[in-house]
Structure formats: C-alpha cells, structure tokens
Amino acid sequence: MDTTTAPPDTAALPSAAVADAAVRLGIPVAVAPVGLRALLPGRPFQGPAAPVTHLGSVDVLLETIDDAPDGAVLVVDNGGRHDEACVGDLMLLEAKLAGMAGAVIWGLHRDTAQLREIGLPVFSLGAHPFGPRRVPPAGTAMRSAFLDGVAVRPDDWIVADDDGVLVVGDGHRDELFAEARRIQSVEGAQAARMRAGRSLREQLDFSRYRERQAADPTLTLRRYLAETGGAIET
C-alpha cells in the first residue's frame, strides 16, 4: 500500500492527466464539487491531505496544521456554509509558515486581499466578511472532511489546479501517477509538434482511422489509438 509520500515529480502533474489515467486504469478517483474556485488561478498544488472538520473555533485548525507533514494540503470542512467564513489571513499564513502546499475549504474564506498577498493557493466557495458567530462547541478535532459528500481522509492525496480538485486514495497511487506522467509526456510532445505545424489529425493518421471505421463502424477512436500506440484522451 502506498504511503503519503508521492513520486518526486508528482507536483508537475495536471489534474486532467491524473483524471485521464484514472479512466484508463479503472482506478477510482473522486472529484470535489465544481463550486470550489481557486482564489489564485494559475497556482496548482498537490500533497497529502490534512483534513479537519471545522467546529467554530481555530483550535482544531491549529492542531491540524501543527500535525501536518511538510507539503500537506489543509482541507477544511465547514459544511458548505454561506453565512460565515471559517478561515482568514492568520490561519492561512500559519499554514504557509508550516510548509503546507495549499488549502481546500468547503466553505468561505475572508481577508481576500491579504490572502492574495500571502500567496498560499486556496480553493473555497467564495468570500464572506463575518467569521463564525456561533458559540464554539467543545470537542476533539475530527481529522476527516467531506466536500459535499466527497470524503477526505489523512491517507488521501490532493491534486488541485485550475481544472478542479481531485481526491486520490492510497490504493494504486504509484501506478496512477506513473500513467498520468506517461499521458502528460505523450500529449505534451503532440502539442509541441502541433505548434511546429503538424496537425493532430496528421499525427494520429486520422484519415486511416476514418478508412478503417468506414469498413468497421464499431471501431472507436479510443480503440484505434490503443491499437496503433497513439494517445489522446477522448
């Protein structure tokens, strides 16, 4: 079983490549709700999940940050509430100082201008000027989170970029990331050739595919590419 240590070059993997690899290998990968938005577009981040359920006060957040491994992603479950912000500049500055890679908030943030200055990548449902106004309940930190039903546990891995947030379990993670790297390499080479003037249809010998499909209407592009060693996720 994998640990929370990722392959050295995992940080370079886009979420789309990981998602394509998951489809190709049949490995389940969860996607966070599309309502989560990046506060700092163009700032991808990845790392082991450090999940916590917000209880209305900062102590559980500080405990989670204190215990998180270097490069972890803070995942805060505030139930998707729209009546309060559950993190602000102090908590996310603390997370950055602790060496965390980013944060995913199932709820709202505040101190938006300061968060942009801090520079820690954050996904959330948006901003709200008020912090929690409820009486903070007493309780032990719950080291799990749910992003609108998507469970996040400490042995999960978070992959986040402008396309969204993926939650990758610990099963077959090395295999998944290896396939994602392969897909990224192949498609990157294809894109480079396209920029040099060689069309994708030419690279895939698309005219040959159409000839074969005319003779065999059951032939799909995916199957054709698998048979010929091409790659593009369709």
Question: Per residue in 158-183, pLDDT tens?
Answer: 999 999 999 999 989 999 999 999 98
Tokens 């595919």 correspond to 209
Distance CA 9, CA 71 (A): 13
Q: What pLDDT digit, counting tens, does each position of 117-140 carry?
A: 999 999 999 999 999 887 666 566
Distance CA 31, CA 52 (A): 18
Q: What is the pLDDT of residue 137?
A: 60
Distance CA 151, CA 45 (A): 19
Q: Give how far Cα 178 sits from Cα of 142, 186, 217, 219, 227, Å.
A: 32, 13, 33, 28, 21
* Mean pLDDT over each residue of the chain, to the nearest integer: 90
Check the CA dihedral 63-65-67-72 and report its sign: positive
Q: What is the pLDDT of residue 139?
A: 60
Whether 116 has a pLDDT exceeding 60, the answer reads: yes
Beta carbons of 69 and 29 less than 8 angstroms apart: no
Whether 52 has a pLDDT exceeding 90, the answer reads: yes
Whether 97 has a pLDDT exceeding 80, the answer reads: yes
Cα dihedral: 112, 117, 118, 119 (round 10):
90
Q: What is the pLDDT of residue 231?
A: 60
Distance CA 122, CA 158 (A): 12
Q: How confident is the model at residue 55 (pLDDT cuts 50, 70, 90)?
A: confident
Mean pLDDT in residue range 23-49: 96
pTM of the model: 0.86
Q: What is the pLDDT of residue 190?
A: 87
Whether 70 has a pLDDT exceeding 90, the answer reads: yes
- In terms of pLDDT, which residue wins out, 232 or 41? 41
Distance CA 45, CA 74 (A): 11
Q: What is the pLDDT of residue 117?
A: 97
Q: What pLDDT digit, counting tens, does each position of 186-218 carry?
A: 888 889 999 999 999 998 889 999 999 999 999
